[in-house]
Structure 1
C-alpha cells in the first residue's frame, strides 16, 4: 500500500518559519553566480539502458527561484536547492566550461589548443554522454586529450565511458590522471564502494533520498547536486598517470596543470589542480558550497578534518594570490581573487574549528553526542551559505572527529557492552509496558517533541515490529523531523524511515557493485571481496586450496580457505587441489559464483585441472547479500 506523505504540523511550519532568522536570506549572490556564463539548457531528458527516464529537468520546476519555501522544507535547504536547480552548459571563463545539474556531480572541460581535458566525469555514463554532446555542439569538437579524476569517489569517475573509450585509454592516446598510485587509486575507488557496497548502497538509499518521490514532501535535491539518479550505468577505467607529490606538473592540450597532492581528506586519494595560464583553481571536494562530511552517513572511512584545513591553507599559500576563478566538481564557481581567498579561508577555518573544538570538549570529558549538542560555529563562519550543512552537518561532523581520533567507544562504560537493539527493546517494553510507551510517544508527538517520540517508540517497534500503531506514529514523527532538517541527507534518512515504516522495505534503485567496478578490481581486492562473502562458522573446518591462473595477465594466485577465512597470495601452491585458468572476466565468475564454474568450463571460458568438486564445496560456504535489508525494523 502506498501512503501519501502527511502535511507539516503547525509546530513544524512554525519551526521552519523561525529558522529563517538563523540564515543570511538577504545574501543572493549565489543565484547570480549560478546563472553566470549560461550557454544552453539541457536539450532533452536522460534515459537509462532500459528506456526509463533517469533525469528530467522538469521534475524540479517546483524549485523556481521565486517560489517560497513550503512548510515541509527547511528554508535553507529550499534556497540551496533553488540554486542547484539552475542547470545546463556554462562558460566559467575563457577555456573552462561546465555542465551542471543533470547528475549529482559536474563535468568540467578545459579547452586547450590541441584538445579537451575533462576534469571529473559525473556518476553516470548517461549524464556524461549528454554533457559531452552539449560540449561538442556549443563549445568545441576537439578530441579529448586527457581525463583527470580529482579523487576516488564514484560520482567523479562513474561516467568516464561517456567521455572516452577504454580502447583510447589502453592505447595511450588518452591518459587518465589521478591522485595516488594506480594501485592505490583502484584500491580506494573500488574497495570503498564495493567490498562494503551492499551495506553502503542500502544506507545511501536513505541518505541520498533515492527511495523518495521528487517534490516538497520528498526529495528536494542532494544539497551538492540535483539528485542521486536511479537506474544509471556506472563505468570505470583505471588511471594511467599518477600524481603522488605536490608540485607535479603535466602539459595537457597545450596547457600546464600543476597539482597539490591532498591524501586523507574528503577521499583517501585526492588532489587540487592549478592552471596558471587560466588562473583557474579547483580544490576538488575539499572546498564546496556546503559543509562536507567528516564521516559520511552512507558509510565510508572517517576523514581527517585537520587535513581539510591543512591542504586548503597550503593551497592558499601556493596560489591564493593569483587565483581568479575556483571551479568545483559540485555546485557553481567562485570568481575574483578576493572572493576566492575569503571562500577558501572560511572553509579552512570551519574544518579547523570542528576538529579543534571537538577535541577540546573530548579532553574535558564530553561524549561525542554531548559535544555535538553544544558546539556551534562562530557567526562569521556559520552564517556563510557555503558552510551550511547541505552534505555533512555540524552535528555529525563533530561526532566523526571523536571517531577519527578516539575510536568507536564514546567513553561511557554503559555503551561498551550493551545488549543488542532488539534485546534492549524487548526488556524495556517488558519493564515499562507497550501501552505506556505508546502513550508517551503520542504525548511527545502532540507536543512536537519529535526526537523523543522516535526514540521512545523505537523500543516498541523493535520489540513488536507488527505493532502498526507504533510504526505509524514513529513514521509521523520521523516525517516532521525530515521536514525540519536543513541537511538533505538527514531529511532523506528521516523521510525514508517514515516511508519504510508505513510501506515496508523499498527495492534498491542502484548498486555500487557494477560489472565495470568488479572487473576493474585489482586482483588482491577481488579476493578481499570474495572473502567477505565467506560464512565463517560454516567454513571453520574447511581446508581448500585453489589456484587461479589469470591468462590475460599471466598471473597465478593461490587461494586458501582455512580457519574460516579466505587468504590469497601471488604464485601457485604446490599443494593445490584445483587450478582454474582463464581471463580475469571469466575467473571473476568462478571465484564469486563458483557454482557457475562447470558452465563456464563447458563453454570454454575457463579450464579446470584437478578436483572440480572443490569449487562446489566453496559455493556452499559463500553468503549472498540481500540488498533490501531492514533498517527501521528488526
Structure 2
C-alpha cells in the first residue's frame, strides 16, 4: 500500500499559524478532564467472533506538541477526548469516558444504578459497567435513560439490562417521545448510504496516527461491536415532567428538533447537577452531519439552550453525553450561553446574508464567529464547522437551489467533467497547471479542478496521485476531525483502492425488530426499482399470523402503497411470520429463497407476487465516493 506523505511547507505554515490564534496556555479543560479520575481504562475489547470492538490504547500517540501533520487545535482536543476511565462527577454521579464516541453516565439510586446513554455497542458498555461495579458500587442497574435517538446513546443497552427484567417492570427505560421511530428510521431506511459515509466521517478505515485519524472532536471514533435496542417503558414528552426513579428525583427538559429529532435533557435537584445530553458540549456541533441526516434547526437549538439557562439557574455542575463536565454555576452558565449565542449567530447571519442574495458557498466563506464566541475552545469546529453548518442552514430554509438558472439543471459530474477537461486543454495540461497551484499551497482549488479529471477518467494515475496528495494536505490542516477523516480516507482510497474492513453497520437485529410493520413496508417500498416496476400492477394481501396483523399492498406506477387491514379478492395473499420479515431486511434471508423454503407462502397469482419480489433492490456497502 502507498504510504502517507509528510506535511508540505504550506501546511506547516498554516498549522503553526493556528498556535498564535487561540489561547493554548489555558489549561482549564485539562484540569476538568482529569478531575475525579477513579480508574484508567486500558487494553482492547473484542466481539464474540473476534473482531475488535474498541481499543483504549489506540490513541496513545496523541501526546506532546502537535506534529506538523495535525492542526494543533484538533490535536489538543484529541488529547482531551482520548482520556479513558471511570470518573466521579459529584458524589453519586459517575461517568465512563473514552469507552466509545459518547459518554455513559451512572447515577447512584437507592438500590442500584441509573444508566444514562449506554454507548453504541454492548462490548464497551459491558466493560464500563464492570469497572463501575468493581470500583464504585456493585449494585444492579434499575433504570436506563436514553437522552436521544442517535445510536451512540442506546446501542449498548443490553449490556446494562435484561429485556425480561424490563418487561417484568423491574427495570425502567426512559426516552423522549418519538425516540423509537427516530432511532430506527435513521439507522435502517438510509442505513447503507449513511454507514458507508460514516466510514469516511469517523476515519474507520484510514487507520490512526499523526498522518491518519486523530479523532472526530466529539469523541474519538465509533465502537464496532453489537448494537442493541430495547423499547422504552417511560416516555418524556414535555418540559417540566418529573419522575422519581428508585429514590432519585429527575426534572426533564424536552429538547426535540435540535441536535436530534427526539431528545431530552434533565436536572437532578438533590445534586444540583444538569445533564445537557448533546445540545451543550465542548465543541461546535453539527447542524448537518457529513454522514448524512436530516438538517438540524440552529434557531430551535439556541432557544433550547436559552430555556435551559432560565429553568436550571442554580445548577452547580453540568455533565453531558460527550466530553468532560463543567463545575461551578458561573462557569457552566457561561458555557451554555456561549453555545446558545454561537448557534443563534450562525442562524441569524445565514438568514441575513441569504436575504441579501448570497448563495450557500458564498455564505460559507463570509460567516465567521465573533472572537468572543469563536475563539473559545468549547465553540471550535472540531465536529461541526461554521462552513458546512451555515450551508446547511441555507438549505434548511431555501433548499439546494441557489436561484441562479445556471445551477438549476447542470450536467451530471462525469459528463460535465469531460467537457471541463476538454475546455482546459486536456488532462495533461490541467494537471501541469494544477501541480503549480499545489506547490503554491492552493489545495482547495487543486482539489476542485483535479476532480474533473478523475470524473472524466477515474483510471488516470497522475490525477489520482495528485488528488490524493491534495486531500492529504487539506486533511493535515483541518481543525475539524470529520473533515480530516474525509480527506485522508479519500486520499487512501485514491492511492490504494477500496479497503473493505470491519466497520459498524447500524441496521442491527434489534433495530429491525423495533420497526413497526408500517415502517418495514416503507423500507420495502424504498427498495422497489421504480423504473423497472412501472408496468407492474398488483394488489397483495399480507398476513402476519404470529403477531395477528394484516396489511394491503398496492403495487402500481412504480410505487408501493400500503395500509393495515384486509380487502376482498386480492391478486395474491402472502403469509409469513414477522421474524421472516426481520431476516429479510437484515439481509440474512433472501426473499425468493424464503418463498422456496416455505417460510413465505403465496396463495393466488404467484407470478404477480414473485414479480414484485424480483424488483426489490439490494445495496453494496462499498460504493465509490471519490471516483464515479
Q: With the length of structure 1 as denominator, give the TM-score of the two structures.
A: 0.96
Gaps of 5+ in 1: none
Residue range with higher mean Cα deviation, 146-155 or 37-46: 37-46
Deviation at 1:612, TM superposition (A): 4.0
Gaps of 5+ in 2: none
The aligned residue for residue 524 of structure 1 is 518
The aligned residue for residue 346 of structure 2 is 354
Q: Counterparts of 1:487-526 in structure 2 under 5 Å? A: 487-507=480-500, 509-526=503-520
Is the 8 Å Cα contact of residues 529 and 558 (structure 2) preserved in structure 1? yes
The aligned residue for residue 259 of structure 1 is 252
Distance 1:589 1:562, change over 3 A: farther
- Cα separation, 2, equivalents of 1:430 and 1:376: 37
The aligned residue for residue 303 of structure 1 is 296
Distance 1:50 1:360, change over 3 A: same
The aligned residue for residue 33 of structure 1 is 32
User: Of 461, 470, 476, which residue of structure 1 is paired with 2:463?
Assistant: 470
Deviation at 1:328, TM superposition (A): 0.8
Residues 252-297 of structure 1: CA deviation (Å, up to 9, x unaligned): 1101111111110100011111111111111211101110001111
User: Of 481, 484, 500, which residue of structure 1 is paired with 2:477?
Assistant: 484
Is the 8 Å Cα contact of residues 586 and 600 (structure 1) preserved in structure 2? no
Deviation at 1:7, TM superposition (A): 0.6
The aligned residue for residue 377 of structure 1 is 369
Q: Counterparts of 1:274-289 in structure 2 under 5 Å? A: 274-289=267-282
Residue range with higher mean Cα deviation, 570-579 or 557-566: 570-579
- Cα separation, 1, equivalents of 2:539 and 2:62: 59
Deviation at 1:425, TM superposition (A): 0.2
Deviation at 1:499, TM superposition (A): 0.7
Residues 535-575 of structure 1: CA deviation (Å, up to 9, x unaligned): 00111111233322233432111222211111121112223
- Cα separation, 2, equivalents of 1:154 and 1:504: 29
Distance 1:599 1:39, change over 3 A: farther
Q: Counterparts of 1:221-620 in structure 2 under 5 Å? A: 221-229=215-223, 231-319=224-312, 321-432=313-424, 433-507=426-500, 509-589=503-583, 593-601=590-598, 607-620=601-614
Residue range with higher mean Cα deviation, 405-414 or 12-21: 405-414
**Secondary structure, in 3 states, of the residue corresponding to 2:285?**
coil
- Cα separation, 2, equivalents of 1:596 and 1:548: 18
Is residue 135 from structure 1 mapped to residue 129 from structure 2 by the alignment?
no
Is the 8 Å Cα contact of residues 580 and 587 (structure 1) preserved in structure 2? no
Is the 8 Å Cα contact of residues 595 and 601 (structure 2) preserved in structure 1? no
Residues 38-63 of structure 1: CA deviation (Å, up to 9, x unaligned): 00112542112221332222211111
The aligned residue for residue 9 of structure 1 is 8
The aligned residue for residue 55 of structure 1 is 54
Residue range with higher mean Cα deviation, 152-161 or 55-64: 55-64
Q: With the length of structure 2 as denominator, give the TM-score of the two structures.
A: 0.97
Is the 8 Å Cα contact of residues 42 and 57 (structure 2) preserved in structure 1? no
Is the 8 Å Cα contact of residues 126 and 233 (structure 1) preserved in structure 2? yes
- Cα separation, 2, equivalents of 1:578 and 1:136: 56
Is the 8 Å Cα contact of residues 145 and 253 (structure 1) preserved in structure 2? yes
The aligned residue for residue 172 of structure 1 is 169
**Secondary structure, in 3 states, of the residue corresponding to 1:369?**
helix
Distance 1:623 1:380, change over 3 A: same
User: Of 118, 121, 124, which residue of structure 1 is paired with 2:118?
Assistant: 121
- Cα separation, 1, equivalents of 2:507 and 2:514: 11
Deviation at 1:631, TM superposition (A): 0.8
Deviation at 1:510, TM superposition (A): 2.5
- Cα separation, 2, equivalents of 1:573 and 1:380: 65
- Cα separation, 2, equivalents of 1:144 and 1:54: 23
- Cα separation, 2, equivalents of 1:161 and 1:610: 42
Q: Counterparts of 1:140-219 in structure 2 under 5 Å? A: 140-180=137-177, 184-219=178-213
Deviation at 1:72, TM superposition (A): 0.5
**Secondary structure, in 3 states, of the residue corresponding to 1:548?**
strand
Q: How many residues of Structure 1 are paired with residues of Structure 2 in the alignment?
A: 623
**Secondary structure, in 3 states, of the residue corresponding to 1:99?**
strand
RMSD value over aligned CA atoms?
1.5
Is the 8 Å Cα contact of residues 543 and 561 (structure 1) preserved in structure 2? yes
Is the 8 Å Cα contact of residues 272 and 282 (structure 1) preserved in structure 2? yes
Is the 8 Å Cα contact of residues 509 and 582 (structure 2) preserved in structure 1? no
**Secondary structure, in 3 states, of the residue corresponding to 1:58?**
coil
Deviation at 1:21, TM superposition (A): 1.4
- Cα separation, 2, equivalents of 1:581 and 1:436: 63
**Secondary structure, in 3 states, of the residue corresponding to 2:618?**
coil
